[in-house]
Every structure is written in C-alpha cells, then in structure tokens.
Amino acid sequence: MEFFSPEVAERWVSSVLRNTGRYAVFSIAVWLVLWVALDRVLKGRRVRDTRPGNRQLALEFLISLRSAAIFSTVGLSIFFVHRAGWLPGPDIAGQWGSAYWWLSLVLMIVAHDAHFYWTHKWMHNPRLFRIFHRRHHKSHNPSPFTAYSFDLAEAVVLASFVPLYLFIVPTPWGVIGVFMLHQIFRNTLGHSGIELMPARGDGRPMFDFLTTTTHHDLHHAQAGWNFGLYFTWWDRLMRTEHPRYHENFARSVRKPLLVKSKAVAETGPGAG
C-alpha cells in the first residue's frame, strides 16, 4: 500500500476531525459548565483566586488543535501496520468476550498512566524541557483548554503510547475509543482549576488513589512535583508528590460550594 494515496489522506482527515472534535467538545463543555453555567455555584471550589486571560485561552485552544493533528498523524502508523498484517491483536482480542473487553480497558488506562508518568518526568530534565515541555508550562495557571497545549516534540511522545501499546497488548478496537474519551475527560478536568473530588471527614480526597485538579494544578505551580496523570501511586512510590498536596486539597474543598455575593449577604436575614 502506498504511503501517500487518496485512501491514506481520507483516513488522516477523518482522524484529525475526530481528534480535534473530541478535544473541542470536551474542553469547551468543561469551560461552559464549570466556568460559565456553574461559576457562582463552584466559586468556592476554585483552586486559585485568579483565572488566565482570554489571550491564553485562545492560544491554548489553537495549539491543542495542532497537537490533535499530530496525534492523528502518529496514529496513522496503526492503520499501516494493521493493513500489513503486523497488528493482529485488536481483531483477536475482539473475540475474547466482554470480561476481557473491560479488563483491557483498565489495563490500558493503568499502562497509560505509567507511560505518562515516566515520559513526563523525563521531559522535565533541564536539557530536554525547552524542547519537549516548555509550551505546556507556559500555562502556569491552567484552564480546560490547556489539555493538549504541547510542544511538537511532546505531542509526538504522548501520541506514541497507543501504537506501542497495541503492538504489545491485544486490545479490542472499541476499547481504544473509550480510552480516548476517558483520557481527554480526565485531562480537561485536571486542568479546569475547579476541585470536584469529594472529601473525607479529615479533608483528604475521597478516592485518594486518583489524581485531582489540585494535584495537577500544583504541578503547574511548582513543576518539580506531581507528575502522575490518573493515579497518585507513582508519585508516592517515587516520592514526587508535593509535600503539601493534601493541605492544598483540603483548602480547596473546605470552602462552601455556593458563595453568596456581598449584596446578598448585606440584604439577607438580620441585615441592618
């Protein structure tokens, strides 16, 4: 099969539209719901007191669209190796039943978290940071649109996970689609600046093995900590979790969900 043909071009365009559409839908939806529709309700759950300006949001959105196109370009390798007969895993795994389908989804998410942790930590090496990861950290105060705001080199590294994983682990095709929805959903929430994780009585996260918005926000504030994507276990095992993470989380969730405006407070019961 030719590398440049109408069929390949059609596949690439379809993939770009799918990836950019997925990013746009989730990032805009999170922004509209959390920052616009529920802004007053969730004001007490903001991780930071300030929000980034419109210029940052627009630039992040445009760069993220570029990253989505890079994901599609790298993802074409799956099409080529499958057509060449070198990727039988997805077709075989599709016959292994629903139990394996769900197990393979869990395995893929766990493997992606490990891949992200170690490549992320690697890109923070001072000799590599400017090439791979500086663009993402220009969003010192992140937003839902920061999710795919990557340098070109980082986008290639992150996009490599799915082709490499499918080549090693038999995974049904349907799992890949659900996995992609999960990763962009978690990614946009993690950059949203709004802490939605419920807290225990002691102020710690209800599900402390999962990363929270506060967890990743601390990484943008102080880049030497909190490299994990979905789970906290790698950071804890490698002692890279921010020492004041739980303190910061408790500060975010102990604020009331609904913050009354000054006018309402002054005219409420007992005023005057």
Task: Please report the sign of the dihedral spanned by the C-alpha atoms of residue 30, residue 24, residue 60, residue 137.
Answer: positive
The contacts found for 233-242 with CB under 8 angstroms, 24 or more apart, are 233/209, 234/113, 234/114, 234/117, 234/118, 235/117, 238/121, 240/121, 241/215, 242/215, 242/218
Each residue of 56-88: pLDDT tens digit?
A: 999 999 999 999 999 999 999 998 898 889 999
Is the distance from CB of 23 to CB of 64 less than 8 angstroms? yes
pLDDT digits (tens, 9 = 90+) for 157-192: 999 999 999 999 999 999 999 999 999 999 999 999
pLDDT range class, residue 263, cuts 50, 70, 90: very low
- Which pLDDT value is given to residue 256? 59
At 255 the pLDDT is 67
Query: What confidence tier does 47 reach under pLDDT thresholds 50, 70, 90?
Result: very high
pTM of the model: 0.90
Average pLDDT over residues 121-139: 97
Please tell me the predicted confidence (pLDDT) of residue 257: 59
Confidence of residue 271 (pLDDT cuts 50, 70, 90): very low
- CA neighbours within 13 Å on the CB side: how many for 121? 16
pLDDT of residue 258: 55
Q: In the beta sheet, which residues pair with residue 205?
A: 199
Separation CA 52–CA 269 (nearest Å): 36
